[in-house]
A and B are shown apart, each in its own frame.
Chain A
């Protein structure tokens, strides 16, 4: 399937059980009938106050581990190199 906006290739992604088509180029999203409602339902659940969870303990690193975190975002602003490292061989 091609993106109606930029003609990029649309890939199917799973977001919490809802399949969405997202353009690899412009990151635009195509929803099938009913998917918007499914996402809205999930958002409403998400907005409910969560049960109190214990704070995750700080993860220990090996001696050669980095002292510094390199900040990045997935999705639209994600760094291509980070995507490569996490999603391919």
Chain B
């Protein structure tokens, strides 16, 4: 089904200046988004269900000079292929799973969060990740793990369950940060990719995945300390400058723990296997979240 689209993305990459030789390499085909490497460029077909107006505004924000040392800069205007937006980017090397650059990650997020309110004109939309946990939990089947996850989800504030409008944003945030969102284009330092959820929001959400995995006992404490320490040392605004970081991280970390647990259950179901030790650790974290709110 993707062969036609793949050919169109390759043609767009070549028209944008990618070297004419060399086979295109599929980099990602996940949840309706398709990314292909064509020579030294990466071409992305964004998800068809993304609001084109909002996505266009996020892509325009990514091209803003104020973000040049934070984000990979898109090449030219997005194209339209079969009703989907297609964007072209310089290709960058990915983070090695053996050696995540946690300090760089902390510093680059601190730089993004430091942008003043009027840095981007027009301002980008509200960040796009607000409903993600609710949507993922909503796809869960029955079963004991899913029940634990749903109970924890029920303890989250109403705005995360779609029952109230979200609080106003205080910074420009990436909106879906994880280690796969860092790349290093030739001759540059680390940069962020994937602006599909970029927008106004609470910067604590960009630390939420790492915070959740640390809290679940999956991300080792020294790696979490490197990430958070570098973020704080760079003046990152998501947490208080000193003292307890969980005053601001708590709700985003709970939400991501629940979301990752739900994603894990869905993956395991899809692959017809039981949860492994780490996925079980996330479901156990959901049980502790529930107990911390409603008691045993």
Q: Is B222 in contact with A64, judged by CB distance below 8 angstroms? A: no
1/0 per residue A5-24: CB within 8 Å of B? 00001011111110110100
**Residue of B94, B215, B245, B260 touching A85 (CB-CB under 8 A):** B260
**Residue of B91, B180, B282, B285 touching A64 (CB-CB under 8 A):** B285
CB neighbours of B95 from chain A (8 A): 13-14, 87
A24→B84 CA distance, assembly (Å): 29
Known contacts A14-B184, A64-B289, A74-B97, A56 near B226 by CB under 8 Å: yes
**Residue of A57, A64, A87 touching B179 (CB-CB under 8 A):** A87
- Interface-central residue, B98, B221, B253, by most chain A CB under 10 Å: B98
1/0 per residue A56-75: CB within 8 Å of B? 11111111111111101011
Chain A: number of interface residues, binned into ranges: 35 or more
A12→B90 CA distance, assembly (Å): 14
Shortest Cβ gap from B114 to chain A (Å): 23
Q: Is B96 in contact with A89, judged by CB distance below 8 angstroms? A: no
Q: Is A58 in contact with B178, judged by CB distance below 8 angstroms? A: no
Q: Is A88 in contact with B214, judged by CB distance below 8 angstroms? A: no
A62→B249 CA distance, assembly (Å): 9
Q: Is A70 in contact with B99, judged by CB distance below 8 angstroms? A: no
Closest to A67 in B: B217
Shortest Cβ gap from A62 to chain B (Å): 5
> Is residue B202 contacting chain A, with contact meaning CB distance below 8 A?
no
> Is residue A81 contacting chain B, with contact meaning CB distance below 8 A?
yes
Q: Is B178 in contact with A86, judged by CB distance below 8 angstroms? A: yes
CB neighbours of A13 from chain B (8 A): 93-97
CB neighbours of B226 from chain A (8 A): 56
User: Interface residues of B, CB < 8 Å — how many?
Assistant: 59
> Is residue A25 contacting chain B, with contact meaning CB distance below 8 A?
no
CB neighbours of B276 from chain A (8 A): 79, 81
Q: For the complex, would chain B's binding face be called helix, strand, loop or mixed by DSSP majority?
A: helix
Q: Is B93 in contact with A70, judged by CB distance below 8 angstroms? A: no
1/0 per residue B216-247: CB within 8 Å of A? 11111110111011000000000000001110
CB neighbours of B263 from chain A (8 A): 84
Within 8 A of A (CB), among B14-45: 25, 30-31
1/0 per residue B187-219: CB within 8 Å of A? 000000000000000000000011001111111
Q: Is A59 in contact with B228, judged by CB distance below 8 angstroms? A: yes
Q: Is A88 in contact with B218, judged by CB distance below 8 angstroms? A: no
Shortest Cβ gap from A49 to chain B (Å): 20
Shortest Cβ gap from A2 to chain B (Å): 9
CB neighbours of B3 from chain A (8 A): none
Known contacts A13-B94, A13-B95, A87-B97, A62 near B215 by CB under 8 Å: yes
> Is residue A82 contacting chain B, with contact meaning CB distance below 8 A?
yes
> Is residue A41 contacting chain B, with contact meaning CB distance below 8 A?
no
A57→B226 CA distance, assembly (Å): 10
A17→B276 CA distance, assembly (Å): 34
- Interface-central residue, A74, A83, A89, by most chain B CB under 10 Å: A89
**Residue of A9, A62, A70 touching B217 (CB-CB under 8 A):** A70
> Is residue B56 contacting chain A, with contact meaning CB distance below 8 A?
no
> Is residue B147 contacting chain A, with contact meaning CB distance below 8 A?
no
21 interchain pairs, CB-CB under 8 A: A12-B93, A13-B94, A13-B96, A13-B97, A14-B183, A14-B184, A17-B184, A61-B246, A62-B249, A64-B285, A70-B277, A72-B278, A79-B276, A81-B276, A81-B278, A83-B97, A84-B267, A86-B180, A86-B209, A89-B30, A89-B178
Q: What is the interface of chain A, defined by CB distance below 8 A to chain B?
A: 1, 9, 11-17, 19-20, 22, 56-70, 72, 74-75, 78-79, 81-89
